[in-house]
């Protein structure tokens, strides 16, 4: 088996004006220059994508968007198409983030449509899943994850899976300071990988990267990355400062 390349992505959510975004990537480039053996991406808000893309020229840091719409173009006021993101230099797009599911009506079905549209345009996808606190307390973690994986990935073949990264983000751990323990996260990651093996094959399940997200910090990243099935992190708050995000990227040195 080929080792899975660790992948650290910063989801900036609705933070950073274009000017602030440029400052942050400048600092980040300096703070992680020369780092090897880890893939890194940043996901600024739409308005900053173009400027950040220019700033990242010649850098190994990848650009990601936080969402897209599945249609190519047309009368869809306020939406952004896969081609628009591709043209502005995006390599990845985050799809199905719990904040989209909670506040903007995203469902497993719309997540699936978005994933297909992104892949068709040659974008790689960070596909987010995770249970809410209520679901966890009702003992539904695994059934929720199973449904999100099955329905979110519906009708996607082995080849398409090569361009998908899964991000397991328990909703109760997002922005709360309550990280899942490495053991708790690993248990769900193992379950997700097992589910991918059932839906696809051993090979696909061994190659797919599964990031953990939810209150990841420089203090807890090492313990998470020591787990066999945790291949990286999708970082919110701690990605808004070069100092903390660069430490997460440099987790091997901690
Ligand atoms: P925090 O790291 O701020 O908890 O956010 C996690 C997240 O939602 C990343 O997508």
Element (H, E) at 126: strand 124-129
1 has a pLDDT exceeding 80: no
**Closest by alpha carbon to 7, among 223, 211, 166, 167?**
211
Find the mean pLDDT for residues 180-187: 96
DSSP state of 173: G
Q: List beta partners, residue 168.
A: 129, 212
pLDDT (tens digit per residue) in 218-240: 999 999 999 999 999 999 999 99
State percent of the chain over pLDDT 90.
96
Cα-based angle 45, 47, 50 (whole degrees, multiple of 5): 100
With a 6 Å cutoff on the Cβ, whether 64 touches ligand 1 is: no
Return the pLDDT at 231: 98
pLDDT (tens digit per residue) in 32-91: 999 999 999 999 999 999 999 999 999 999 999 999 999 999 999 999 999 999 999 999
The per-residue pLDDT of the chain, averaged, comes to 97
Return the pLDDT at 2: 59
DSSP per-residue letters across 6-30: PEEEEE--S---HHHHHHHHHHHHH
Return the active site residues: 97, 169
Q: What is the rounded distance in angstroms from the CA atom of residue 117 to the CA atom of residue 94?
A: 13
Find the mean pLDDT for residues 202-214: 98
145 has a pLDDT exceeding 70: yes
In the reported structure, the alpha carbon of residue 39 is separated from the centroid of ligand 1 by a whole-number distance in angstroms of: 18
Q: What is the rounded distance in angstroms from the CA atom of residue 61 to the CA atom of residue 42?
A: 7
Residue nearest to atom 1 of ligand 1 (CA): 236
pLDDT class of 178 with cuts at 50, 70, 90: confident
Task: Pick 158 or 1 by higher pLDDT.
Answer: 158
Return the pLDDT at 50: 98
Return the pLDDT at 179: 84
With a 6 Å cutoff on the Cβ, whether 10 touches ligand 1 is: no
**Residue 13 — left, alpha, or beta (φ > 0 → left; ψ -120 to 50 → alpha)?**
left
With a 6 Å cutoff on the Cβ, whether 214 touches ligand 1 is: yes
241 has a pLDDT exceeding 80: yes
Q: With contact defined as beta carbons under 8 Å apart, do 167 and 126 qualify?
A: yes
Return the pLDDT at 67: 98
Task: Pick 179 or 109 by higher pLDDT.
Answer: 109
With a 6 Å cutoff on the Cβ, whether 175 touches ligand 1 is: yes
For ligand 1, mutation pick of 64, 210, 215, 239 (most atoms within 8 Å of CB): 215
In the reported structure, the alpha carbon of residue 75 is separated from the centroid of ligand 1 by a whole-number distance in angstroms of: 32
């Amino acid at each position: 088996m080929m080792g899975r390349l660790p992948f650290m992505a910063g989801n900036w959510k609705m933070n950073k004006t274009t000017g602030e975004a440029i400052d942050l990537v400048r600092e980040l480039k300096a703070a992680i220059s020369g780092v090897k053996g880890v893939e890194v991406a940043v996901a600024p808000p739409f308005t900053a994508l173009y400027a950040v893309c220019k700033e990242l020229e010649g850098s190994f840091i990848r650009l990601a968007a936080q969402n897209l719409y599945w249609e190519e173009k047309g009368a869809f006021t306020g939406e952004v198409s896969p081609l628009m993101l591709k043209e502005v230099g995006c390599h990845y797009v985050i799809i199905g983030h719990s904040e989209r599911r909670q506040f903007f009506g995203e469902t497993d079905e719309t997540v699936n449509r978005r994933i297909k549209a992104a892949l068709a345009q040659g974008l790689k996808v960070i596909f987010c899943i995770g249970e809410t606190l209520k679901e966890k307390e009702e003992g539904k973690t695994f059934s929720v994850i199973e449904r999100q994986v099955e329905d979110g990935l519906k009708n996607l073949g082995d080849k398409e899976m090569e361009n998908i990264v899964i991000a397991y983000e328990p909703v109760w751990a997002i922005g709360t300071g309550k990280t899942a323990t490495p053991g708790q996260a690993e248990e769900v990651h193992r379950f997700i990988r097992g589910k991918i093996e059932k839906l696809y094959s051993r090979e696909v399940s061994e190659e797919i990267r599964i990031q953990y997200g939810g209150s990841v910090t420089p203090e807890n990243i090492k313990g998470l990355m020591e787990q066999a099935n945790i291949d990286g992190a999708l970082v919110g708050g701690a990605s808004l400062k070069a100092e903390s995000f660069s430490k997460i990227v440099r987790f091997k040195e901690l």
